[in-house]
Amino acid sequence: MTAVLAPALTRRRPPFSLSRWVERESVFSWLMVALPVAFLVALVGYPFFYGIWISLQDRPVAKPGEFVGLANFIRAWHDPVFRQVAVNTIFYTAAATLLKMVGGLGLALVMNQDFRFKNLTRALLLLPFIVPTVLSTIAWQWILDPAFSVVNWVLKAADIADPGPSWLGNPHLAMFSLVIVNTWRGLPFYAITLLAGLQTIPPDLYEAATIDGAGRWGRFRYVTLPLLMPIIFIVTMFSVIFTFADFQLIYVLTRGGPANATHVFATYAFDIAMGAGQFGQGAAIALSMVPPLALIILAMAIYMRPSKS
């Protein structure tokens, strides 16, 4: 009918219609993603680059900064505490990741059998991972208390040591304790995720391997491990990033002590920025996490990538 009334119009481009414009795939998509993208740019993208800018300034808290180039990074490089922090962080990450990976894989294999109360067991084993870390870490702090540690009470009752060691007071033991508590919290994540991965492996692959003469180890080595590798890779990558940048656990248990023996990048950056009020130096220390982290992830990508197996 419109064609009859307005023949001239139909021959030209259809008049602009907002509702039709919105229906275009690209327009609709961008209308949807625009808000979340703007949100993330404002609160992640912008702060990231702004952080780089701050790290290039001498900037006491609440004062205007003064551009100093790479001075903060150079000072960090010559700071013996910073070097210790780097070593601590790498050791902490490596030890905790290894324990979580091996323990988590072991637990996943144990859980991948049929038994009663499987779902309940899985739910209980995940508890350390879901409970707020700071709160469970407070419990660990009491378990490892210098005077009233229950571990030491057991050691004493069993006539092994009296008095027991100072779990958080001795530099080596403090690091050891942190690794154990981190493993306690993170192991369930590995176990449950790897268990889900194990359950996706088709049983006939195991049958085929058994027919080909593979024993228990052979089945694990040539069926389970290769098929699980992509999941192990992703889980480990996540875990490495968040262990490397861990803050809560260390802040609660040792605050980086004794004598900086357990300071890591995050706690040291926090001390410098928030404690000493040196925003520029703190930002530089926090940013120093990026290169080693990138290297670790790159190395993992090269050695663990599924395509390699």
Segment 86-125, which members bind another protein (CB under 8 A)? 106-107, 110-111, 113-115, 119, 121-125
Query: C-beta of 289: minimal distance to another protein in Å?
Result: 6
Contacts of another protein in 11-50 (CB under 8 A): 19, 22-23, 25-26, 28-30, 32-33, 35-37, 39-40, 43-48, 50
The CA distance from 117 to 114, in Å, is: 9
Q: At what angle do helices 118-130 and 171-198 cross, to 10 degrees?
A: 140
In whole angstroms, how close is the CB of 123 to another protein at the nearest point?
5
CB of 25 to another protein, least distance (A): 5
| Residue placing its CB nearer to another protein in the complex, 2 or 113 | 113
Q: How far is the CB of 226 from another protein (least distance, A)?
A: 16
* Rounded least distance, CB 258 to another protein, Å: 14
What is the nearest approach in angstroms of another protein to the Cβ of residue 8?
A: 28
Single out the residue of 6, 70, 131, 298 in contact with another protein (rule: CB under 8 A). 131
Binding map of another protein across residues 264-293, x = CB under 8 A, - = no contact: -xx--xx--xx----x--xx--xx-xx---
**Span 204-223, contacts to another protein by CB under 8 A:** none
> From CA 149, how far away is CA 144, in angstroms rounded?
5
3-state secondary structure 84-101: HHHHHHHHHHHHHHHHHH
Classified as helix, coil or strand, 29 is helix
- Count of residues that bind another protein according to CB under 8 A: 92
Tell which one of 9, 77, 148, 299 touches another protein (CB under 8 A): 148
| 88-100 b/e (C-beta count within 10 Å ≥ 16 → b) | bbeebbebbbebb
The residue range among 1-9, 66-74, 140-148, 301-309 that interacts with another protein, by the rule CB under 8 A, is 140-148
C-alpha angle 258-278-253 in degrees, rounded to nearest 5: 25
Segment lying near another protein (by CB under 8 A), choices 1-9, 166-174, 184-192, 300-308: 184-192
Q: Could you say whether residue 70 binds another protein (CB under 8 A)?
A: no
Query: Which range touches another protein (CB under 8 A), out of 4-12, 73-81, 234-242, 298-306?
Result: 234-242
Contact 50, 56 (CB under 8 A): no
50 vs 77, which CB is nearer to another protein?
50
Which is closer to another protein, CB of 1 or CB of 120?
Answer: 120
Other CB atoms within a 10 A radius of the CB of residue 6 amount to: 10
H helices of the chain, in order, are 2-5, 7-11, 18-23, 25-40, 46-55, 71-78, 80-111, 118-130, 133-143, 150-157, 171-198, 203-211, 216-219, 225-244, 248-253, 265-270, 279-287, 290-304
Q: Which residue has the tokens 């030890």?
A: 95
DSSP codes joined into one string, 132-149: -HHHHHHHHHHHT-TTT-
Which range binds another protein by CB under 8 A, 8-16, 90-98, 168-176, 244-252?
244-252
- How many of the other CB atoms lie within 10 Å of CB of 192? 20
